[in-house]
Amino acid sequence: MQLTDIKNDWISQFNHPLVIAGPCSAESETQMLETAARMKEAGAAVPVFRAGIWKPRTKPNGFEGVGSMGLGWLRKVKQEFGYKTATEVANMHHVQAALEADVDVLWIGARTTVNPFAVQEIANALQGTDRIVLVKNPVNPDLALWIGALERLAGADIHNLGAIHRGFSTYRKTNYRNIPNWQIALDFKNQLPNIPLIIDPSHICGNRTGLSSVAQEALNLGYQGVMIETHCNPDEAWSDARQQITPETLASLLSGLVVRNEEC
Ligand code: PEP
Ligand code: MN
């Protein structure tokens, strides 16, 4: 299958914009269930609950995720609260475990998108799946690598595809953790208007203050979704503590977004 032939009507099963929220990392069953419950109580319109259970960290000796134990917690979040669930996969073993555990949405992280062999391995393990697969932009500003990863998935007849714009690393210090480089995402959108584009303000900002303006900017540009890291106790999070927000803050951030009906 060619990437450009893909219809991608999967996104229309969700209200606009699609919201994916949940902790950077799954830490414990209690943390997962409390975050999920409070998102519901706060009235945040979140159909998809995210949590990383395998965490590829830039530096060694950090927390690298709870591993497959977290799959049971994702399943509980789905059963108890009715969310669809999402997690990151970085190799074929992750894919097999996530498929067996009925995870609805799989995403390829920025550190994996840069590796064609890893992406191909994931594509082969997912061959022909109906599961939704999202590809984060590579850490470096390389549009061809981002599109190439999606082409590998389309080549394995994976047809429910989307892309996540999480910004690009830069040696220069800026106000962003990863600079948005909007033009790269807009070029992506021009080349592949059929692939839903989701903004990840959390990894772009690296803090809590810029999230809503980055999310709003993306919606103004016609993005179809947002992914926002949300944690029941952000200050104590085991990864990405500075950028995570509480479920209650998420609810108010979402209600402050101005959503246009028409696509631009
Ligand atoms: C994440 O979503 O928690 C993550 C590790 O993101 P990225 O791959 O964009 O760095
Ligand atoms: Mn994170």
Say if residue 185's pLDDT is above 70: yes
Per-residue pLDDT tens digits for 102-117: 999 999 999 999 999 9
Assess: ipTM above 0.95: yes
How far does the centroid of ligand 1 lie from the alpha carbon of residue 50, in Å? 11
Percent of the chain at pLDDT exceeding 90: 95
Pocket (CB within 6 angstroms of ligand 1): 24, 52, 109-111, 136, 166, 203
CA 191 to ligand 2 center in whole angstroms? 28
* Prediction pTM value: 0.97
Q: 211-221 pLDDT, tens per residue? A: 999 999 999 99
Long-range contacts of 69-73 (CB under 8 A, 24+ apart): 70/26, 70/32, 71/97, 71/98, 71/101, 71/103, 72/29, 72/101, 73/26, 73/28, 73/29, 73/32, 73/33
- Identify the nearest ligand to the CA of 234 by its number: 2
Please state the domain extents for the chain: 3-256
Note the pLDDT tens digit of each residue in 29-84.
999 999 999 999 999 999 999 999 999 999 999 999 999 999 999 999 999 999 99
Specify the pLDDT at position 129.
97
Q: Is the pLDDT of residue 261 over 80?
A: no
Give, using CA atoms, the residue closest to atom 1 of ligand 1: 24
Smallest-distance ligand from the CA of 237: 2
The verdict on domain 3-256 having CATH code 2.60.40.1250 is no
Residue 12, pLDDT above cutoff 80: yes
Cα(229) to ligand 2 centroid in Å equals: 7
Cβ-in-10-Å burial (0-12, 13-18, 19+) of 8 comes to middle
Ligand 2 centroid to Cα of residue 133, in Å, is 18
Mean of the pLDDT values across residues 182-199? 97
